[in-house]
Amino acid sequence: MPITEGSTGRATSLRDGHYRWMLRGVDAAVAAAIVLLVLPATTAGVEPSMALVAALLMVMLNTLSRLYERDLLVLNRTTLDEAPSLLQAAAMFTLLLWIVHDAATLVTLYAGDAAVVWMATFALLLGGRALGRALVLRATPGERCLIVGENASITAIRQKIEDTSVNAEVVATLPVSPFTSLVGDALADEFRLQVRLHDVDRAIIAPASGEDVTDTLDLIRAAKHAGVRVSLVPRMLEVVGSTVEFDQIDGLTMLCVRRFGLSRSSRLLKRGFDLAGASVMLAVAAPTMLAIMAAIRLESHGAVFFRQTRVGKDGHRFKMLKFRSMIEGADAKKEALRSLNETQGLFKIESDPRITRVGRFLRRTSLDELPQLVNVWRGEMSLVGPRPLVVDEDAKVQGLYRHRLHLTPGMTGHWQILGSARVPMHEMVSIDYLYVANWSLWTDVKILLRTIPYMLASRGM
């Protein structure tokens, strides 16, 4: 079948236009607000006409920094992921505004004032873009997706899209495997047919095991010519993660994979972050913890704290602390309730009869985990890390995924944000492994920030 150059669909073009102009409008408004509202609050003078110059300057800088392109490529548009780039953009904007301001007003902007402008610019960009994306998300139709891959991959990807707030829907699937007749031109032709029939905006391609790489390349070319966006799910990333660097030698492209685990300096940085964070959290949470202790005492007899053996870093066992949320002797009744277990590999029952009324509230809000700040202080846990498994659960983790124990287990992690009660065991240990393989301090900060709305939404278990 001859290939003809396609163009992006009307709905996709409309969505792209909304995102592009929204981001530019937010950035321009932030720049104007800095000149008209923030600068007058400092010791510097201000020229109102500079607002237009600042707005144009901001849009130009962010265009050069490619801060308007990511939303046109990715399916999951989150402002938090671009925060480091926004911090750099705010710094560059502040520097140029400093130069323009001093030249236009003949009044020096002092370093302290510049720091205020920098932080205000960053905060307004972060908040404004997040709000703008939320509004566009509500106002535009979701991307229509076609998933190409093995049946297991199709099911997993569809579930991920349905379980998250991603603005997308799966409108068609194209199952492929080494045992089907859909290869080569036949596969590409069927792909084009599905794109036309279902008005597809994006193709999510998960190459099948043993699939000829030529077939994948043909699908990508067909998608591009049809004006369809492509998201590729390479199996390789299940092991190496997303933190890779592209290298080129005389036209040969290579992916360079970082060494597994943390360097000594990274471990010290993570430990310092844990100690500082745990200290602040303990000071802030102390009144709440005292109130919880009193409520537990008033409702039922028994200890306030629940101590359970968990498997920590390098397989060392420790006693993890929680506020007691169950009746006394709950462990003795575990076997009798095992038939009600709802999570593969883990013991989770949504309506566990052993949980007290206070305990149910604590679990729903994740407040039962506050005593783990003491474990963080002791060095047995981290604020963010792999899920601390009980001994019998840890025994089920084999092979490559044992490397998740290279890091100290955390109070929260990717598994918490995804909903610990909904993530099956095999997926959870894979998530933990990739967290260790791709660790960065910014990743920890993002996970902590994303845990807050999770707790406020009362989705803990």
Which has the closest alpha carbon to 126: 153, 98, 88, 154?
88
- Whether the per-residue pLDDT at 461 is higher than 50: the answer is no
Q: How far apart are CA 442 and CA 84, in angstroms?
A: 9
pLDDT value for 242: 67
Pairing outcome for strands 168-175 and 202-205: unpaired
Mean pLDDT value across residues 428-436:
85
**DSSP three-state, residue 344:** coil
Pairing outcome for strands 317-323 and 382-384: unpaired
CB atoms within 10 A of CB 245: 9
Domain 143-235 sits in CATH at: 3.40.50.2000
pLDDT value for 3: 37
Q: What percent of the chain has pLDDT over 90?
A: 41
Q: How far apart are CA 280 and CA 283, in angstroms?
A: 5
What does the domain layout of the chain look like in residue ranges?
10-139, 143-235, 264-456
Which residue reads 């099956």 in tokens? 424
**What is the identity of the amino acid at 377?**
W
pLDDT value for 181: 53
Q: How far apart are CA 402 and CA 429, in angstroms?
A: 8
* 386: Cβ contacts below 8 Å, ≥ 6 apart: 404, 405, 407, 409, 410, 413, 415, 432, 435, 436
Enumerate long-range contacts of 149-156, CB under 8 Å, 24 or more apart. 149/174, 149/175, 149/176, 149/204, 149/205, 149/206, 149/207, 149/208, 149/233, 150/175, 150/176, 150/177, 150/206, 150/208, 150/209, 151/175, 151/177, 153/206, 153/208, 153/233, 154/206
CA dihedral 229, 442, 432, 74 (to 10 degrees): -10
- Whether the per-residue pLDDT at 116 is higher than 50: the answer is yes
Which residue reads 């794109």 in tokens? 195
- Whether the per-residue pLDDT at 1 is higher than 50: the answer is no
- Contact between 365 and 285 under an 8 Å Cβ cutoff? The reply is no
- Whether the per-residue pLDDT at 26 is higher than 60: the answer is yes
pLDDT value for 356: 87
Rank 155-164, 181-190, 208-217, 237-246 by mean pLDDT and report only the highest.
Answer: 155-164
Q: How far apart are CA 283 and CA 214, in angstroms?
A: 59
- Contact between 201 and 12 under an 8 Å Cβ cutoff? The reply is yes
pLDDT value for 210: 63
- Contact between 386 and 412 under an 8 Å Cβ cutoff? The reply is no
pLDDT value for 10: 58
**DSSP three-state, residue 442:** helix
Mean pLDDT value across residues 356-381:
92
Count Cα neighbours of 101 within 13 Å in the Cβ-side half-sphere.
27
Structure tokens at 127: 């908040």
pLDDT band at 366 (very low <50, low <70, confident <90, very high): confident
Distances (CA, A) of 210 to 156, 157, 234, 439: 19, 19, 12, 30
- Contact between 35 and 50 under an 8 Å Cβ cutoff? The reply is yes
pLDDT value for 2: 36
CB atoms within 10 A of CB 257: 14
- Whether the per-residue pLDDT at 8 is higher than 60: the answer is no
- Whether the per-residue pLDDT at 446 is higher than 80: the answer is yes
Q: How far apart are CA 418 and CA 415, in angstroms?
A: 5
pLDDT value for 328: 74
How do residues 162-199 score in pLDDT, each as one tens digit?
877 788 999 999 988 755 555 667 888 888 999 999 99
pLDDT band at 48 (very low <50, low <70, confident <90, very high): confident
For residue 227, what is the DSSP state?
A: T
Distances (CA, A) of 354 to 124, 245, 337: 47, 50, 10
∠ CA 71-244-78, nearest 5°, is 25
How do residues 375-400 score in pLDDT, each as one tens digit?
999 999 999 999 999 998 888 888 87
pLDDT value for 6: 45
Mean pLDDT value across residues 134-143:
86
pLDDT value for 452: 85
pLDDT band at 239 (very low <50, low <70, confident <90, very high): low
